[in-house]
């Protein structure tokens, strides 16, 4: 279905935009070569991280569609790979059901079932290797169908972004809620380019997720919360 505007056919259906991640794209443009995330000696720049996030977000849309039918369950830990998956799901406009890697497999399965979630699945290409000197809008490998859906609408801001917590009492948060909380934390903590910010909790928790978005939105270097050994 399409509508005509001044004789030009335009798509009537709006593909969802991960509104809470728009500020992260802006930060990645400004701080391409700055370290975005560091954990256990594994560091990634803003250019590297968001090239991966953008590529994986396109993979999420291709596999699960542009309009989410169910939350996407993903296992969250402190690794760069897990952080990239989480940001990719949010960027794609899908709902992330965040499962703590510390939970037993049976518990994660029970929570997924309770929320009617489907598994995220593989997002990384086997030979995924990103040139840190470029970011997604410079990459020749991306095609037209990988382009973003444009600026977020008011409805995009009000859509559910993440579900965190156990079965039956998982907390649901919109893109607006997590974005406002992240911006408020960044302001109160004085985060900015050159700041090193230690995550106070795992990204599998709301506290850790908001802190991650706060640090990345501000252009800081975020240090991952250590996983228990």
Per-residue pLDDT of 63-72, as tens digits, reads 888 777 789 9
Whole-model pTM above 0.85?
no
Instruction: Name the β-bridge partners of 89.
Output: none
Q: Cα–Cα–Cα angle for 61, 199, 23, nearest 5°?
A: 45
Position 143 pLDDT exceeds 70? no
Helix 175-189 to helix 206-217 angle (10° resolution) is: 70
The alpha helices in 35-104, defined as continuous H runs, are 46-64, 80-91
Q: What is the pLDDT of residue 16?
A: 62
CA distance 31 to 54: 16
CA distance 172 to 97: 9
88 touches 62 (CB < 8 A): no
pLDDT tens digit sequence for 18-28: 788 888 888 98
Domains with residue ranges and CATH for the chain: 16-223 (3.40.50.12780)
CA distance 217 to 179: 9
Q: What is the DSSP letter of 7?
A: T
| Structure-token pair, residue 80 | 């760069």
Q: What is the pLDDT of residue 75?
A: 93
pLDDT tens digit sequence for 34-45: 999 999 989 999
CA distance 107 to 127: 32
């Amino acid at each position: 279905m399409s509508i005509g505007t001044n004789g030009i056919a335009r798509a009537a259906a709006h593909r969802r935009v991960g509104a809470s991640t728009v500020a992260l794209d802006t930060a990645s443009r400004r701080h391409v070569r700055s370290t975005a995330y560091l954990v256990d000696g594994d560091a990634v720049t803003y250019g590297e991280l968001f090239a991966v996030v953008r590529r994986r977000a396109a993979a999420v849309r291709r596999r699960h569609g542009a309009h989410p039918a169910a939350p996407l369950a993903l296992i969250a830990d402190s690794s760069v790979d897990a952080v990239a998956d989480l940001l990719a799901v949010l960027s794609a406009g899908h709902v992330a059901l965040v499962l703590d890697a510390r939970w037993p497999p049976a518990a994660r399965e029970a929570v997924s079932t309770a929320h009617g979630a489907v598994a995220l699945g593989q997002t990384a290409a086997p030979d995924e290797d990103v040139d840190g000197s470029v970011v997604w809008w410079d990459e020749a490998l991306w095609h037209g169908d990988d382009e973003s859906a444009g600026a977020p609408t008011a409805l995009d801001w009000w859509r559910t972004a993440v579900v965190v917590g156990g079965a039956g009492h998982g907390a649901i948060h919109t893109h607006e809620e997590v974005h406002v909380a992240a911006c408020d934390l960044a302001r109160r903590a004085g985060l900015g380019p050159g700041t090193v910010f230690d995550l106070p909790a795992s990204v599998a928790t709301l506290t850790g997720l908001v802190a991650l978005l706060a640090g990345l939105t501000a252009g800081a270097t975020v240090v991952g919360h250590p996983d228990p050994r």
